[in-house]
Structure 1
Amino acid sequence: MKKVIVLLFLLSFGIIQSQQAFKGKGDIKVNVGANIQDGGSGIQGSVDFGLAENFSYGFVASYLLGVNDYGANQYSNKKPEFKDRFDAKFRINANIGNVFNIDEKLDIYPGLSLGLKNFGGHVGGRYLFTEGFGVFTELGFPIAKYNDDNDLFDHLNNQFTFSLGASFNL
């Protein structure tokens, strides 16, 4: 009886673990996590829609919850407003996890984004533990800023960012 139970457990575990990180057309992935960068940290959410075997488009939004204090200087009484903390972007991804053929549960995706503050790029990865849940990480960077005003808080959404969180398959 023990052998039958162990065999059933292994079979069910194998079926549960037979997910694929990116399936292509019709695939929908939602990421929610922390956004970490110089000068502050916050939350990030994104959604990606599969268009083809290795191509997707989506949207990403981030909001900085904590912004570092600027100390006792001419800006000590200024705090960033909502427009300084929030950013939204349209993005495209090349989902190339299956090209590297490392693990079908791993998706690697470089891409480009067009946002409210800049034109940029990103490199990310997601690993699915089950059919509907996994983790993701992304590195984002600006390629071209829209203005050169260099206001006090312009750097908040125009710099290298690191994101880490949960990924959901819908």
Structure 2
Amino acid sequence: MKKINFLLLLAIGLLAGTQSFAQMAVDKGTKFVNLGIGVGGYSYFTGSGLGLNAALDVGVAKNITVGGILGYRGYGNGVTSFDIGARGSYHFNEILNLSTDKADLYAGLGISYYRLSYGDTYLRSIGIADSYGTTYIPIHIGGRYFFSETLGGFAELGSSLATLKLGLTLKL
């Protein structure tokens, strides 16, 4: 947990310390697409497997986006999981008075359906379910940094299939 807190503070410090002329505007109609990989997690299989994830965020009001998330993770030996849901985020650029139009800091929560499948024929043969599904409320905090007007990178900490997600982000 100390490592995650340190990384979060470092990312905020680096993003807040950049200099430019204006803040990134997140208004109605602004669209972001995140595509990335994820590591870490909160289950028995935490240390294994690499997750793939995608998220779409659409501005519905000043500094507020809503959208969807989709994730998949394979752990080996036929064990897989997926996550699908909706989320909302608040973008802190204005409150933090960021002096750059390249950075976007946000946090939020959502509602998701999570399914874990064991793929174990032995479990089925003795009458035990080989999959598990549940609905939960994931939280997330993240940041984006744009290298150009439309392409950037993102990092996100959260409580979904992966604790840490990293990847590319597109502003449409």
TM-score bin (small chain): 0.5 to 0.7
Q: Is the 8 A contact 2:51 2:72 kept in 1?
A: yes
Q: Is the 8 A contact 2:23 2:94 kept in 1?
A: no
Q: Can you give the 5+ residue segments of structure 2 that lack an aligned partner in the other structure?
A: 1-19, 41-45, 115-135
Hey, what's the Cα distance between the residues in 2 that align with 1:99 and 1:136?
A: 20
Report the structure, 1 or 2, having the larger helix content. 1
Hey, what's the Cα distance between the residues in 2 that align with 1:92 and 1:32?
A: 17
Change (3 A) 1:46 1:109: same
Q: Which residue of 1 aligns with 2:144?
A: 126
Hey, what's the Cα distance between the residues in 2 that align with 1:45 and 1:62?
A: 6
Q: CA offsets, 1:1-32, max 9 Å, x none?
A: xxxxxxxxxxxxxxxx9786443110010010
Superposed, 1:27-38 pairs within 5 Å as 27-37=30-40, 38=46
SS at match of 2:95: helix
1:111 partner letter: G
SS at match of 2:52: strand
Q: Which residue of 2 aligns with 1:107?
A: 104
Change (3 A) 1:46 1:19: farther
Q: Decide which of 88, 91, 111 is 2:87's aligned counterpart.
A: 91
Q: Which has the larger radius of gyration?
A: 1
1:123 partner letter: I
Which contiguous aligned blocks of 4+ residues in structure 1 show a shift greater than 3 angstroms? 17-22
Q: Which residue of 2 aligns with 1:165?
A: 167
Q: Is the 8 A contact 1:19 1:131 kept in 2?
A: no
Hey, what's the Cα distance between the residues in 1 that align with 2:25 and 2:84?
A: 23
Number of residue-to-residue matches in the alignment:
125
Hey, what's the Cα distance between the residues in 1 that align with 2:167 and 2:24?
A: 15
RMSD: 2.1
Hey, what's the Cα distance between the residues in 1 that align with 2:28 and 2:83?
A: 27
Change (3 A) 1:133 1:40: same
Q: Is the 8 A contact 2:52 2:71 kept in 1?
A: yes
Which TM-score applies when normalising by structure 1?
Answer: 0.66
Q: Can you give the 5+ residue segments of structure 1 that lack an aligned partner in the other structure?
A: 1-16, 69-77, 143-156
SS at match of 1:98: coil
Hey, what's the Cα distance between the residues in 1 that align with 2:22 and 2:96?
A: 17
Q: Which residue of 2 aligns with 1:137?
A: 155
Q: CA offsets, 1:44-75, max 9 Å, x none?
A: 1110000111101011111114x15xxxxxxx
Q: CA offsets, 1:69-118, max 9 Å, x none?
A: xxxxxxxxx622xxx41111200000112221222211111100100032
